[in-house]
Structure 1
Amino acid sequence: MSIASTTRLRTLLSLGAATAALCAAPAYAQDTQTAEAAPADEGTIVVTGSLITNPNLERSTPVNVTTSEEVELRQTNVAEQLLRDVPGVVPSTGSNVNNGNGGASFVSLRGLGSNRNLILLDGNRVVQTDTVGRTDLNVLPLALIERTEVLTGGASTTYGADAISGVVNFITKKDFSGLEINAGEQITQRGDGNVFRVDATIGANFDDNRGNATFSVGYQESDPVYQGSRAISRSAISPYNEFDTTAAGSPTAIPSTFTVPGTAGLQINPAGALVPIFSSFNFNPFNLFQTPFKRFNMFGSARYEITDGIEAYTRGIFSKTTVPTIVAPSGVFGSTVTIPVSNPYLTPAARATFCANNDFNPGVAGVQTLTPAQCAAAAAATSPSDPNYRTFTTGLFRRTTEVGTRNDIYTTTFFDYRLGFRGDITESIHWDISGGYGESTNHRVRQNYVLTSRVRQALLATNPNTCLDTSNGCVPLNVFGQQGSITPAQAAFIGGVTSVIDAPNSLAQARAVVNGDFGASLPWANDAVSFAAGGEYRKYKSSIEPDNLAQTAGQLGGAGGAIRPTKGALDVYEAFGELLAPLVQDKPFFEDLTLEAGVRYSHYTIDAPGTPKFNTTTWKVGGSWTPIRDIKIRGNYAHAVRAPNINELFAPLNTVLTNLGVDPCAGVAPLNNANLRAVCLAQGAPAFTIGNIPVPAAGQVNVTGGGNLNLKPEKSNSYTIGAVIQPSVLPGFSLSVDYYKIKLTGAITTPTSQDIVNACFGNLSAASASNPACTSIRRDPNTGSLSGDAATTPGLFGALSNLGRASTDGVDLTMNYNTDLGFAKLALNFAGNWTRSAKFQATPTSLNRECVGFYSVSCGSPAGTAADIGSIQPEFSWTQRSTLTFDNVDLSLLWRHVSAVSFERQQFQDDLAVALASPADCPDPLGADPGGCIVDPRFRHIPAFDYFDLSTRIGVGDNLTLTVTVANLFDKKPPNTAQNIGSTSFNSGNTYPSTYDTLGRRFAVGARLRF
């Protein structure tokens, strides 16, 4: 353990101790805490992580609890925002992700990826909302939730596969009686980002309390916050120097840029001449820091005691959410187009450049350019039948602001229903049989995307009124002018279409459980041995159904690649058992010694011809020892699995976007290294582009990958060991400290973009033009770039395999201490996490990357889905709440802390860093910044950040409660990291909006009326 890490761990312990040292008492509001057992309803104890229902159950694994009281103080409306601040959780896709948001929100426990944890509702799965098998947190309205329990570590034995990193269990309110109405309004200090919500819940007991029925309905809405409305994000900033030859932003800009042989691309200036690139496009003002959101939800639950010992129960949830994402306007992003020399909008100066540099007869040896006289004759040829008619081919980069912003509207319709019966076999043994079915459909509507095929059609024109191909009502297109050169009629022709993608999912499930105790205890124990046993069946179906526009590669300008049709299904049959055995109780130094064990056998059938079936076995063993009443020592070891999901099995081969900061072939580097030049040529870069290959456009490059029906389940081993201390000499005080370690083998992963580049370019002296790791990378045949038209530029190749491995470990600490001050009650709650390590290696030859405390295009849940890569996992984080209660008034302060992080320094091996960075531009490329020439030291490091939220809650009479919250009390500004230093999803607006507050000080007012 390093000195720095030891110091931080001591800081965690000392901060927790300082919190406990202050006088405190039970308050009206409680913060995150450790739960041993929590009552769900009368006679039943639900403990996340076990199927045994026993009120005396001692947990061997720590469970982090967030109560509805905390939700009310925070005035959080979306579950993802609440979970994001739980120490040890790494941000995944959520409301602060715009470019990369698919209309859903997820959570990544321990940074192992949003695909490696389960979302549960009252201990049961609900239908998945994508082919990855994840559940959208947006569909779970917090107004219905009594508490949220987060269990990290392998939980596959209890809940089946997918729970490698843990589960999040949302537990709903039970036996609700009366009427409750909640309403709230939020707005930022700058007057934007308004959030509104209203929920109404009604419930009643009936038939002499033999039954209860509860129904809730709610509506939530939030407004967008544009990056152009904040000073930090009004202009895109580049962290690189010589690797970024243009101003920060996108090369797809206005005026147009064209590829011309022998140049890095030329941009047309106001005078109509093609000159070196002088202007890029500032896309930031169009993008969002807060995506707009609308949700309508209904929830109903009921139970009824049919006869003595037999009860029927049911619940149903329906939700309709709409999440629009807005990104900068569409355009032509390097697609190859053919233009007649006689195009009516082609300026004389630009025509002369194209005539003098393009090959007009590629079938003949040598470059056949046009003389000035031939060029003049071609300019006058208005018919393809004219012998002087000539065309040239060029790569076009043109931002079509005249068409408007790209808008993707995601509407998710979700319902999930469950019905069950439970009863008693004996007084101590119970049975529970239940089944459920759910469907979720994500309906995506794409608007204002430019059709590349129509751009090509509209450029084949020799007069301003008629295209050579007059179909579709073609209007000739002017891409040779400045802003506004594309007329409304032209914009309507190239962009007046809508594309639709539907993604339906379903889950059918059934489960039967017998649990209770044997009615007998072991010789040295008092409590009986408890057990749970049963079986489970699940049927998953998921598909993606794009229209023809969406599934045609390169058709929609700026769509990030085609969306391929995907369809798959799988069945799972499982048998499981759990045992809880008190070994010794009420003996000296053995107040309690309890053993816990479990096993689950699963049989998977994949719905594909010739696909082998596979079986898995997961197990756990744990225990707790209470030597005296004040101290409990606990530990747990679990062997868990995660089966490949439908996307990993069935997704077709496809080219999409990924992030890459530096392309080794870009710029002048290949001119000075013959070996590098040979590799770039072998990857498909034309010879005339060497020395002028563009850098990755806006930090994004193409990557090609797909599913693999030969995948097998990945495996993990995890353990936790810790202690719970509740000293009798200090009433109201509790402390829990737990060390955890999770290790994955055979992980289903693809290499990061940097891993793929390193496999070829990691050692330039050994790089070979015949190395498959090099030749699998395919470049734009026109520009040599890794960015370009997905139809012609496969880019990197990201194979999906079982070759990965990942691990993480750290310490969780929670402390609660309460006391009565006489004039008020004070409650202090502390939850902290120290992540010692989080490593990921995609293949045996990939870098074993350490991502704790680092940010880059490769760090941030790299072992998870592509959508998880790029967020920040701090080494140290905590939340601390202090609450004073004066009769009917709460005054509460929440302190959130994120430790310092730095730019990832090991992107490339040293010899490549030398080749890329000149001493003049990067004085210390191998010390301060190996692997990336980040010249400005502001972008190499983010200091520790602290946020404070102040809440006041007032009870007005017996029925009304008012809550006022000021979030980010001191209006802390986010750090400036520049653009392209991380992934597009998480490094946006020159910062990391999922980790740091970009909205500024916010005010929230809420009211709860209860009868």
Structure 2
Amino acid sequence: MRETSNPALVAASAPVAQKRAPLAGLTLKTLVGAALLTGSSAYAQDTQPMQTVPEPPTSAVAPVPDVAPELAPDDPSSEITVTGSRIARNGYDQPTPVTVIGLQEIQAAAPANIADFVNQIPSVSGSVTPSNTQRNLSGGAGGINTINLRSLGTARTLVLLDGHRSVGSLASGTVDVNTIPQGLVKSVEVVTGGASSVYGSDAVAGVVNFILDRTYTGLKGEASYGETTYGDDQTWRVSLTGGLSFAEGRGHALLSGNLVRRGGVYGAGSRPWTDRAVHLIQNPRHVAGNGQPEYVAAGQSGLNTTTGGGIITSNSIGTNGASLRGTYFGQGGTVNRYDYGANRLNNLPWTVGGDYQLSQQYYGTSIQPEEQLSSVFGRFSFDILETLQVYTELSYNRSNQISWGGYHTDKANVTIRGDNAFIPAALRALIPNSSAYTFTLGTWNQDIPTRESHYDRNVQRYLLGFEGSFDLINTGWKWDAYYQRGIMNAKEGLVAANRVKLGYAQDAIRDGSGNIVCRPTAAALADPLFQGCVPFNRMGIGVNSPEAVAYIMGTPYDDRRLQQDVAAVNFSTNIQNPWLDAIGVAFGVEHRKEQISGYVPPEYAAGWYSGNFTATRGSYTVTEGYGETVVPLPFKFEFNGAARYTHYSESGNVVTWKAGLSWQPIKDIRFRVTRSRDIRAPNLSELFQGGSRNTNSIGDPWQNNQAVRYTQTVTGNLDLQPEKADSWGLGVIYRPSFIPGLGLSVDYYDIKIKDAIGTLGAQDIVDRCFTGNVDLCQRLRAITPTGTIAYGSPGFGSTGPGPTVSEYLIANSPYNFLSNRARGIDLEASYQFDLSTIAAALPGKMNFRGIATHYLEASEANGVQAPTDVVGENAGGGPANWTYRLTLGYAVDNFSLQVIGRGVSAGVYNNNWVECTSGCPASNTINRTIADNHIDGAFYLDTYFAYDLPVGGVKSQLFFRVANLLNKDPAPVGKGPSDTSNVDLGINQTMYDYLGRSFRLGLRFDL
């Protein structure tokens, strides 16, 4: 089992370690060539030796002829396994498309994290990243980098490390790519199709397998520094990897470490595009039946229900007979009149023009969170016998994230009594000094620090494995077995205000001595939270002492632990026969246990603006067995089939399968087709969620979509069943022999998921109750001045609870009620040639690669209403209709450069909405009318330069990358129309570049 250094031929998903004889001229670059990122496969018969000339550190490899170099039938190096299959075979192309991303391509992107690059692949859309979870303060996802294939959700993408599962960093099972040993990754293989029968649950959209260089010998490293053109988001990355062989080559040891320090971007004031202040709002000119559109994406807009120092939002009447509405409080408690701009004639929460800027609080929200990542990975292998190897892997990853999530906002829900001691004198003269008199404020509390999240997460992984081979009935078998334990510990901490304490502190009066004190009611005196109360002034900016702020602030947190235990054994062989090429066979069994536990101090379970944590506890087991075969057929056909039987302790038994056929009638063209049944079992969060809470606002359809606060509690559902997906894949690869170096591929996919697990959003529940869905109405309760009433009780019927609702309480949970469908086309083209073929005097090589995905459908249906298709909804749901990446590279001598164009097509806010400016049809909860439904697309230009330093005996390279060279601003995307969007940035951070031009300079070496 002694391994020699030819990592180009090894895909670490192989079930056994292989003895690898060097092949002259074959490198990792050649194996990457035919893959072309999203549709074609990189296998032995797709590769050929390339000329020994410098190439840019990218995926710049031409498609190649269909015949591999001749290999002896018994040469172990002829057996190549890729992620699409567990069967090692020489020179076959399986039907399932496999994307191969090579080391040079990753290096050319120079990412701080490898996920930043993988998420640029067009078939990946909507991944969870630190930048789009900065306001997800208590959801556990802060600092996570995930991969979302086909926009079907990260829970439907299976992430592997060398073919092995890894413990998730979230209760959903989502694997954080930060935990991958970055310095050892030599390639990434992406199966863009169902693979549950081969790899198990969660592979509905596909598999992403990170391949490590397990035979690396030497010492290599990288140090780089980057920042944006605005001087922020300073990022350092240092990695160091060492490998050595010992005991005459029988043993091999690897150690790799990685450090990333990212400064982040606190507040959006440094970006000029924040001045656009674009929001999706209710059209102030719209009245039902007047033909005006209901919604409009308006610039220079903002909420009129909240300002930094508070604004009176109620129509309370002063002693002079005038309404106090629009009175706002500024620096030092000054009293001012608000200019409602274009909205002065109605009672909508949005202002266009006027004093819209008073509601802008972008500088309290992070654009890019601050991150600190540290990791170490070690691997030790030893050949006990020529046919038996033992190996172990150990890793530890630590990640910290700090992020601002926006100010503590109260939108027209703060009640101030007339005898409040902090009422400014100018207002005091207009109102009675009486506790019976009240007015309502809206404020984003500029005197209270912005909400802040701190995530501290560590992931440990321990693996012990064996690999070997044996002969049985004149057939050579390979086998592997391993046991793995993964542990994730996370502390999710916040800096937030306590609502109960703030309620006590704002109710300030003067005592008999004239001192300002918190009102000492009987209920307050009996509450321990009232102890030490320091009065807090809600009317003004800069009017509160540090002691008053300290009283209401706290640091709620929760601890959670995930543990995954996996044991598996796999066998594979190639069965020779006199009629056809060898028949590949693989089979194996696996047992897995997933468990979660947590702890929340009682004082942090309720009463906070953010947090209100609940602990989740539970576990389930999975036992499964699979079989796979590859059968060559006459007339250049080949069949690939697999089946897997799985038993889930919580949700029963499931059978998954795959059948594929490929045909190569001539050497220039190959066709392939696959059909599969895939599954996703309910995860720990969906089964055992203890009751996660979030508080925000919705538009109340019973009150003309007026903003009303809600508190939603989501609990798990033990009755959930596995999702079932039926997938089709059709593809063709064309490599014309008369144009050497040119390759084209087209792949179509169609994935249908039934009994999909989902949770309706709060706005959807209320809207669908409003339109008559009684089942969803049962999830609602309304808080009114007379108490809390449930749907169906007196006062809360089909006409709603009336205009006196101060808050909705929503009980929610996931269930199998959805149907999803994803369809699309992956397109690729690549071409590589020597410039000398044009003119003998021209030096160097040119290469081009273009990849694109055309998303045709990403729909969801709940069995009641028509399916909603989000393809082209660039506001957030996505994906875009077209996503693409174009690469042009040049290499000569020690120098290489690359120019990358990437982008997305234009889209809309909502596919179901009707665009009109006059004569509009009646607007309803599904088919809203909007003045302009258009959202711009984007094209970004990146550059990369590398120079191999002429240092004797040391391979070293200096590189420089510029991303978003033209410093293109993100497209304006108005958030709304509910008033929850006042702290959003007015962009889609998942789809568009939001940092602006950024630079990275670095040095690599390999001793």
Normalising by structure 2, report the TM-score. Answer: 0.80
Alignment-derived partner of residue 135 in structure 2 = 99
Pair 792,158 (structure 1): closer, same or farther in 2 beyond 3 Å: farther
**1: distance between equivalents of 2:202 and 2:304?**
38
Q: Secondary structure at the match of 2:517?
A: coil
Kept after mapping to 1: 8 A contact 2:870/2:877: no
Alignment of 1:828-977 (within 5 A): 828-841=848-861, 843-856=862-875, 870-906=876-912, 924=920, 931-932=927-928, 934-935=930-931, 937=932, 940-957=933-950, 958-977=954-973
Matched, 1:423 2:500: no
Q: What is the aligned-residue RMSD (CA, Å)? A: 3.7
1:604-1003 correspondence to structure 2 within 5 Å: 604-606=648-650, 613-657=651-695, 662-666=699-703, 669=704, 694-695=706-707, 702-753=711-762, 755-762=764-771, 771=774, 773-774=776-777, 776-781=779-784, 793-795=807-809, 798-822=812-836, 823-841=843-861, 843-856=862-875, 870-906=876-912, 924=920, 931-932=927-928, 934-935=930-931, 937=932, 940-957=933-950, 958-980=954-976, 988-1003=984-999
1:999–1:319 Cα change, 3 Å: same
**Aligned 1:328-347 pairs, distance under 5 A:** 328-330=406-408, 332=410, 341-347=418-424
Deviation at 1:228, TM superposition (A): 1.2
Matched residues in 2 for 1:851 and 1:310: separation?
52
Give runs of aligned pairs for residues 277-356 of structure 1, distance below 5 A. Answer: 281-330=359-408, 332=410, 341-347=418-424
Is the Cα contact below 8 Å between 1:877 and 1:898 reproduced in 2? yes
1:690 is aligned to none
Q: Distance in 1 between matches of 2:536 and 2:696?
A: 31
Partner of 1:359: none
Change (3 A) 1:296 1:44: farther
Separation in 2, partners of 1:259, 1:943 = 35
Q: CA deviation at 1:396?
A: 5.4
Is the Cα–Cα contact under 8 Å of residues 403 and 492 in structure 1 kept in the other structure?
A: no
How much does 1:603 deviate? 0.8
Residue 630 (structure 2) pairs with residue 580 (structure 1): yes
Task: Give the structure 1 partner of residue 572 of structure 2.
Answer: 515
CA deviations on 1:618-651 (whole Å, 9 max, x unpaired) are 1111121111222221111110111111111111
Matched, 1:410 2:460: no
More displaced 10-residue stretch of structure 1: 751-760 or 190-199: 751-760
Aligned-pair CA distance for 1:579: 0.9
Amino acid paired to 2:992: Y
Tell me if the contact between 2:536 and 2:549 (Cα under 8 Å) persists in the aligned partners: no
Distance 2:696 2:91 in 1: 50
Quick check: 1:113 aligned with 2:146?
A: no
1:195 alignment partner in structure 2: 235
Corresponding position of 1:363: none
- Of residues 535, 551, 572, the one that matches 2:589 is 535
1:566 aligns with 2:616: yes
Counterpart amino acid of residue 142 in structure 2: G
| Inter-partner Cα distance in structure 2 for 1:603 and 1:986 | 47
Q: Which residue of 2 aligns with 1:674?
A: none
After the TM superposition, which of the residue ranges 451-460 and 954-963 deviates more from structure 2?
A: 451-460
Aligned length: 874
Are the structure 2 counterparts of residues 252 and 571 from structure 1 closer, same or farther at C-alpha, using a change threshold of 3 Å? farther
Question: Any conservation in 1 of the 2:113–2:178 contact (CA below 8 Å)?
Answer: yes
Shift of 1:120: 0.6
Counterpart in the other structure of 2:59: 31
Q: What amino acid sits opposite 1:254 in the alignment?
A: G
User: For the structure 1 residues 888 and 927, does the alpha-carbon distance in structure 2 shift closer, same or farther, using more than 3 Å as the test?
Assistant: farther
**Structure 1 Cα separation of the partners of residues 406 and 785 of structure 2:** 25
Structure 1 position 796, deviation (Å): 5.0
Who is 1:232 aligned against? Answer: 273
User: Which amino acid in the other structure matches residue 814 of structure 1?
Assistant: E
Change (3 A) 1:739 1:758: same
- The answer on whether the counterparts of 1:75 and 1:1004 sit within 8 Å (CA) in structure 2 is yes
- Structure 1 residue 456: Cα displacement: 2.1
Moved more, 197-206 or 456-465: 456-465
Instruction: Give, as a single letter, the amino acid of the residue that structure 1 aligns with 2:57.
Output: A
> Does the residue aligned with 1:665 lie in a helix, a strand or coil?
helix
Secondary structure of the corresponding residue to residue 617 of structure 2: strand
* 1:923 CA drift (Å): 5.5
**Aligned with 1:81: secondary structure?**
helix
The match for 2:549 is: 491
Mapping for residues 126-137 of structure 1, pairs under 5 Å: 126-137=166-177
Shift, 1:457, TM fit: 5.0
Q: Kindly tell me: are residues 423 and 267 of structure 1, through their superposed partners in 2, closer, same or farther at Cα, counting changes over 3 Å?
A: same
SS of alignment partner, residue 227 of structure 1 = coil
| Aligned equivalent of 2:209 | 169
Q: Which amino acid aligns with 1:82?
A: F
Partner of residue 501, structure 1: 558
Contact 2:305 2:313 in 1 (8 A): no
CA separation in 1, counterparts of 2:678 and 2:999? 43
In the alignment, what sits opposite 2:1004?
A: 1008
Partner-residue secondary structure (3-state), 2:279: coil
Residue 283 of structure 1: how far off its partner (Å): 1.9
Once the two structures are TM-superposed, the CA of residue 773 in structure 1 deviates from its matched residue by 4.3
Whole-Å separation in 1 of the counterparts to 2:436 and 2:563: 52
CA separation of 1:837 and 1:976: change in aligned 2, threshold 3 A: same
| Matches of 1:177 and 1:442, distance apart in 2 | 35
Give the secondary structure class of the aligned counterpart of 1:949: strand
Displacement of 1:261 after TM fit? 7.5
- Paired residues of 1:287 and 1:326 also in contact (CA < 8 A): yes
Q: Which amino acid aligns with 1:729?
A: F
What is the CA–CA distance in structure 1 between the aligned matches of 2:395 and 2:741, rounded to whole Å? 38
> Offset of 1:954 from its aligned partner?
0.7
Of 507, 514, 522 in structure 2, the residue corresponding to residue 459 of structure 1 is 507
Distance of 2:151 and 2:762 partners within structure 1: 18
Give the alignment partner of residue 256 of structure 2, picking from 216, 222, 226.
216
One-letter code aligned to 1:509:
V
Residue 479 in structure 1 maps to residue 537 in structure 2 = yes
Do structure 1's residue 556 and structure 2's residue 608 form an aligned pair? yes
Once the two structures are superposed, residues 756-789 of structure 1 have per-residue CA deviations (whole angstroms, 9 ceiling, x without a partner) of 3442445xxxx59xx55456444453699999xx
Three-state SS of the structure 1 residue aligned to 2:823 is strand
**What letter matches 1:99 in structure 2?**
R
Contact 2:304–2:359, Cα closer than 8 Å, also in 1: yes
Q: Is the 8 A contact 1:164 1:640 kept in 2?
A: yes
Q: Percent identity?
A: 26
Secondary structure of the residue that 1:421 maps to in structure 2?
Answer: strand
Deviations 1:105-147 (A, max 9, x none): 2222111111111111011100111111111122224322111
Q: Secondary structure at the match of 2:269?
A: helix
Alpha-carbon shift at residue 331 of structure 1 (Å): 5.2
Structure 2: how far apart are the matches of 1:46 and 1:981?
51
Contact 1:596 1:622 in 2 (8 A): yes
Matched residue type, 1:598? A
The whole-number CA distance in structure 1 between the counterparts of 2:971 and 2:620 is 45
Unaligned runs of 5+ residues in structure 1 are: 1-12, 17-23, 355-374, 380-389, 585-589, 607-612, 670-692, 857-869, 914-918
CA distance 1:594–1:930, change in 2 (3 Å)? closer
In structure 2, list runs of 5 or more residues that go unmatched.
Answer: 1-35, 40-49, 285-294, 318-322, 341-354, 789-795, 837-842
Compared CA separation, residues 398 and 136, structure 1 to 2 (3 A): same
